Structure 1
Amino acid sequence: MSEEDRSVVVYWRPGCGYCMRLKASLGDLGAKALWVNIWQDDDAAAFVRSVNDGNETVPTVVIDGTAHTNPSASTVRERLETLA
């Protein structure tokens, strides 16, 4: 996957209300992000712990290389709207 395709990565897990709310708030724009289930990807879970003081706090969203813990939908939407 190219860097352009990785500009927004959402780390999430099933049953997370905050993750479901983010996804719903993004609507169709959410399809432009790469969604990574931390319960199916050990490296992803380790990354989330590394940027959240050892906690698996989700959603953790990486936008252009910067991790954001439980960001607002508007923050994520702004970046997704700029993608082709």
Structure 2
Amino acid sequence: MTNKITVYGVRWCGDCKRALRILDERQVDYVWVDIDQNEDGEAFVKSTNHGNRSVPTIIFPDGSILVEPANQALINKLEIFGF
């Protein structure tokens, strides 16, 4: 288990930009995986989301996952981890 959040997404995605903005505003240290550039990342997202490239797919330190979360859902989850 890592203590970092991993965000799988693509740079042109509005939902990804929104999620990254929330993480940046809270100064959360995260790992970014651009699935347009990373085949393993794309495969992970597809396997997690029933063959779909649903982004952002966000993995938390406990292994839990949020996919395309609404702002408040992401904020609530970050607060659980003290972010």
Q: Deviations over 1:29-70 (max 9, x none)?
A: 355111111111100100000011100100000112122211
Match in the other structure for 2:50: 53
TM-score between both structures, scaled by the size of structure 2:
0.78
CA RMSD of aligned residues (A): 2.0
Residue identity opposite 2:24 in structure 1: G
CA distance in 2, matches of 1:41, 1:77: 25
Which secondary structure state, in structure 1, belongs to the residue aligned with residue 26 of structure 2?
helix
Match in the other structure for 2:68: 70
Contact 1:29 1:80 in 2 (8 A): no
User: Offset at 1:21?
Assistant: 0.8
**Identity percentage of aligned residues:** 33
In structure 2, stretches of 5+ residues that fail to align are none
Match in the other structure for 1:40: 37
Please identify runs of 4+ aligned residues in structure 1 that moved more than 6 A: none
Of stretches 67-76 and 37-46 in structure 1, the one that deviates more from structure 2 is 67-76
CA distance in 1, matches of 2:76, 2:19: 11
Residue identity opposite 2:74 in structure 1: A
Equivalent of 2:23 in 26, 36, 50: 26
TM-score between both structures, scaled by the size of structure 1:
0.77
Higher share in helix: 1
Residue identity opposite 2:64 in structure 1: T
